[in-house]
């Protein structure tokens, strides 16, 4: 590359950002200030909580939790359920206290597959700002996110990551995984193994925590994963159909991939009577209907659960210690489109350009509803049953399955999509403590931050949720809208919501305030659009 062309080339991790900007999709408006959150306090005490620590241990309490600055410094048992608490057993007063008697405290939740907004929405109007996204996450208890793709630019995400860490913005903890530009149908600027290694070294120097792959020619992919291991960069891969026949999820796992995103590449590893999926006549990957209708047939063509091939593949993943981030939530509309088009939260919480982006349109990613049928939904329901059987068996044999949402597409919005993922893990066979474990300590292990967060332990960062009701009884109570329930005393239906406070590294957020802010942001945007000529 000449000096001139090198100077004109986008900075590492911004290649796809520059391409999108030329097509009318600039970076998402960044957060620049913080208007919510109090603390961190010199001494914060949560009094009388029932603790669910995220490790899989059952609830216990009452306990007082002491936070000094951003860290947990004491967890003190203070009594027995049903008996008065002896004040002499309690830690000294804090300069701020939260009454948690009758309430539950869990670790903050970890979303391992996110996007801080979606630049594509700009084709349908003003894109939602990062503040909108962050507040939706915090309002649903998400205190850590892994940004998969950095489509607003690695430099953009790194700046937001540092702003969050310094409490300059109201946001979860952020980890940056930029897009590895090596697939033809998105953007390909890497053509050799040495170019791959050089790109990764520069990405590491630019602040990347890991890398988001969609695939690559095998020699490049293998070299890249080896270099990620050498550099200490974690990696996740969406095994796109354009690349999966050359390397499925088991192949890349054996080469050092950290996690497989979604389900792509897994059914291909389970094929026992073919190598390439049997695509229907007329298939074209660039037609989103064909792409996603056929994607719902992959497990139907794979080895049956419990078969020799199925068990062989499962055991190989276990031997490697591999991680799956299934993001079942993002394809959930494929099973029941009407349900997700009419979800309770769309009217008040879905950003207008995002809503328009969801509608049927040729060429729009995830907007393939122009011919979605009962047959498609039935196939996807069968696809989920087989997918869930594998995930549950993998968990039962000691494998790591983590929570991710990929929201911003296919009728799933930020925060709400993550809570839906908890429901889907329970549908797959995980019990409630196993679901919480996937959403907390296992996510922290995947991201390499389990020494800092993911469970309630002395010395760890104070990433904590305060809930009015036991979340293990019903994940629906974590939705920002709550869940519709009957009040037997009044005979009236009411919306019940459990999450009261989200605490990220000692910074305390009032969830009701966050939700009010989001409703106001969406309403104001609708008013601006209505007033526009």
| pLDDT (tens digit per residue) in 79-109 | 999 899 989 999 999 999 999 999 999 999 9
* Residue 425 contacts residue 401 (beta carbons within 8 Å): yes
CA distances from 388 to 144, 263, 265, 426 (A): 25, 10, 15, 10
Please state, as a whole number, how many other Cβ atoms lie within 10 Å of the Cβ of residue 378. 12
Q: Sorting pLDDT into bands at 50, 70 and 90, what band is 9?
A: confident
**What is the separation of C-alpha 251 from the centre of its chain, rounded to a whole number of angstroms?**
24
* Residue 310 contacts residue 304 (beta carbons within 8 Å): yes
Q: What distance in Å separates the CA atoms of residue 266 and residue 245, rounded to the nearest whole number?
A: 11
* DSSP string for residues in 350-417: S-HHHHHHHS--TTSTT--GGG--HHHHHHHHHHHHHHHHHHHHHHHTT-EE------SSTT--TTHH
Please state, as a whole number, how many other Cβ atoms lie within 10 Å of the Cβ of residue 272. 14
Q: Sorting pLDDT into bands at 50, 70 and 90, what band is 1?
A: very low
Condensed to tens digits (0 to 9), the pLDDT of residues 476-532 reads: 999 999 999 999 999 999 999 999 999 999 999 999 999 999 999 999 999 999 998
Condensed to tens digits (0 to 9), the pLDDT of residues 209-237 reads: 999 999 999 999 999 999 999 999 999 99
* Residue 399 contacts residue 390 (beta carbons within 8 Å): no
The mean pLDDT value of the chain amounts to 96
Place of tokens 């005979």: 491
**pLDDT score of 3 more than 80:** no
Rounded to 5°, the CA angle 405-407-412 comes to 105
Q: Sorting pLDDT into bands at 50, 70 and 90, what band is 2?
A: very low
Q: What distance in Å separates the CA atoms of residue 501 and residue 498, rounded to the nearest whole number?
A: 10
Q: Sorting pLDDT into bands at 50, 70 and 90, what band is 8?
A: low
Q: What DSSP designation does 461 have?
A: B
Q: pTM (2 decimals)?
A: 0.96
Mean pLDDT along residues 431-446: 98
CA distances from 420 to 121, 271, 390, 524 (A): 22, 29, 19, 27
Mean pLDDT check: name the lowest of 56-70, 352-366, 376-390: 352-366
Confidence at residue 184, expressed as pLDDT on a 0 to 100 scale = 85
Residue 419, both tokens:
């809570």
Confidence at residue 185, expressed as pLDDT on a 0 to 100 scale = 82
* DSSP string for residues in 21-79: HHTT-PPPPPP----S-B---SSEEEEEEEE--SSSPPPEEEEEEEEETTEEEEEEE--
Confidence at residue 126, expressed as pLDDT on a 0 to 100 scale = 96
Nearest to 219 by CA among 191, 200, 242: 191
Q: What distance in Å separates the CA atoms of residue 218 and residue 472, rounded to the nearest whole number?
A: 43
Q: What distance in Å separates the CA atoms of residue 279 and residue 393, rounded to the nearest whole number?
A: 28
Q: Beta strands of 256-403 (E only): which ranges?
A: 259-261, 323-325, 400-401
* Residue 160 contacts residue 174 (beta carbons within 8 Å): yes
Rg (the chain; Cα; Å): 23
Residue 440, both tokens:
């907390």
Phi, psi of 381 (to 5 degrees): -65, -45
Which residues neighbour 8 within 8 Å (Cβ) at sequence distance 6 or greater?
Answer: none
Condensed to tens digits (0 to 9), the pLDDT of residues 282-307 reads: 999 989 999 999 999 999 999 999 99
Residue 213, both tokens:
């792959």
Q: How many helices and strands in the chain, by DSSP H and E?
A: 18, 20
Mean pLDDT along residues 151-164: 98
Condensed to tens digits (0 to 9), the pLDDT of residues 235-253 reads: 999 998 888 889 999 999 9
- In the chain, % of residues over pLDDT 70: 98
Q: Are strands 234-237 and 210-213 parallel, antiparallel or unpaired?
A: parallel
- Mapped to the 3 state alphabet, what secondary structure does 287-309 carry? CHHHHHHHHCCCHHHCCCCCCHH
Condensed to tens digits (0 to 9), the pLDDT of residues 181-201 reads: 999 888 999 999 999 999 999
Place of tokens 């999820």: 249
Mean pLDDT along residues 141-161: 98
Q: Are strands 44-51 and 109-114 parallel, antiparallel or unpaired?
A: unpaired
* DSSP string for residues in 468-530: SS-GGG-GGGGSTT-EEEEETTTTEEEEE--EEEEEETTEEEEHHHHHHHHHHHHHHHHHHHH
**pLDDT score of 202 more than 80:** yes
Condensed to tens digits (0 to 9), the pLDDT of residues 328-378 reads: 999 999 999 999 999 999 999 999 999 999 999 988 888 899 999 999 999
Nearest to 130 by CA among 153, 108, 107: 153
Please state, as a whole number, how many other Cβ atoms lie within 10 Å of the Cβ of residue 137. 27
Q: What distance in Å separates the CA atoms of residue 286 and residue 382, rounded to the nearest whole number?
A: 24
Q: What distance in Å separates the CA atoms of residue 335 and residue 527, rounded to the nearest whole number?
A: 34
- In the chain, % of residues over pLDDT 90: 94
């Amino acid at each position: 590359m000449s000096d001139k062309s090198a100077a004109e080339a986008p900075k590492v991790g911004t290649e796809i950002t520059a391409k999108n900007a030329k097509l009318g999709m600039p970076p998402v408006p960044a957060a620049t200030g913080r208007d919510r959150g109090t603390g961190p306090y010199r001494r914060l005490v949560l009094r009388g909580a029932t603790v669910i620590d995220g490790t899989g241990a059952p609830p216990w309490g009452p306990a007082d939790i002491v936070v000094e600055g951003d860290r947990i410094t004491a967890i003190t048992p203070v009594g027995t359920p049903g008996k008065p608490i002896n004040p002499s057993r309690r830690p000294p007063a804090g300069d701020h206290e939260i009454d948690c008697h009758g309430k539950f405290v869990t670790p903050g939740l970890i979303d391992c597959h996110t996007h801080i907004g979606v630049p594509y929405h700009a084709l349908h109007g003003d894109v939602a700002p990062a503040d909108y996204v962050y507040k939706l996450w915090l309002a649903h208890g998400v205190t850590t996110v892994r940004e998969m793709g950095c489509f607003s630019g690695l430099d953009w995400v790194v700046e937001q990551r540092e702003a969050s860490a310094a409490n300059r913005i109201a946001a979860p903890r952020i980890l940056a995984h930029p897009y590895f530009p090596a697939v033809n149908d998105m953007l390909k600027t890497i053509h050799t193994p040495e170019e791959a290694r050089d790109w990764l070294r520069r990405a590491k120097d630019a602040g990347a925590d890991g890398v988001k792959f969609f695939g690559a020619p095998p020699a490049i992919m293998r070299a890249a994963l080896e270099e990620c291991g050498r550099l200490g960069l974690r990696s996740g891969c969406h095994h796109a159909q354009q690349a999966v026949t050359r390397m499925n999820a088991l192949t890349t796992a054996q080469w050092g991939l950290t996690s497989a995103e979604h389900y792509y590449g897994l059914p291909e590893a389970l094929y026992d009577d073919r190598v390439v999926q049997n695509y229907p006549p007329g298939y074209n990957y660039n037609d989103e209907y064909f792409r996603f209708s056929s994607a719902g047939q992959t497990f139907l063509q794979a080895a049956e659960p419990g078969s020799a091939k199925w068990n062989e593949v499962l055991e190989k993943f276990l031997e490697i210690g591999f991680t799956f981030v299934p993001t079942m939530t993002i394809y959930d509309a494929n099973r029941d489109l009407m349900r997700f088009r009419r979800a309770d939260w769309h009217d008040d919480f879905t950003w207008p350009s995002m809503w328009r982006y969801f509608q049927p349109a040729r060429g729009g990613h995830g907007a393939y509803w122009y011919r979605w049928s009962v047959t498609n939904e039935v196939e996807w329901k069968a696809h989920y049953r087989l997918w869930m059987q594998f995930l549950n068996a993998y968990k039962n044999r000691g494998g790591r399955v983590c929570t991710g949402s990929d929201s911003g597409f296919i009728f799933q919005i930020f925060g709400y999509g993550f809570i839906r993922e908890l429901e889907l893990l329970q549908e797959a066979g995980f019990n409630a403590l196993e679901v919480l474990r996937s959403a907390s300590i296992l996510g922290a292990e995947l991201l390499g931050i389990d020494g800092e967060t993911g469970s309630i332990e002395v010395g760890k960062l104070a990433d904590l949720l305060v809930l009015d009701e036991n979340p293990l009884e019903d994940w629906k109570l974590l939705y920002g809208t709550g869940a519709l329930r009957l009040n037997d005393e009044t005979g009236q239906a009411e919306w019940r919501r459990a999450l009261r406070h989200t605490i990220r590294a000692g910074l305390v957020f009032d969830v009701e305030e966050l939700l009010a802010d989001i409703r106001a942001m969406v309403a104001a945007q609708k008013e601006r659009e209505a007033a526009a000529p």
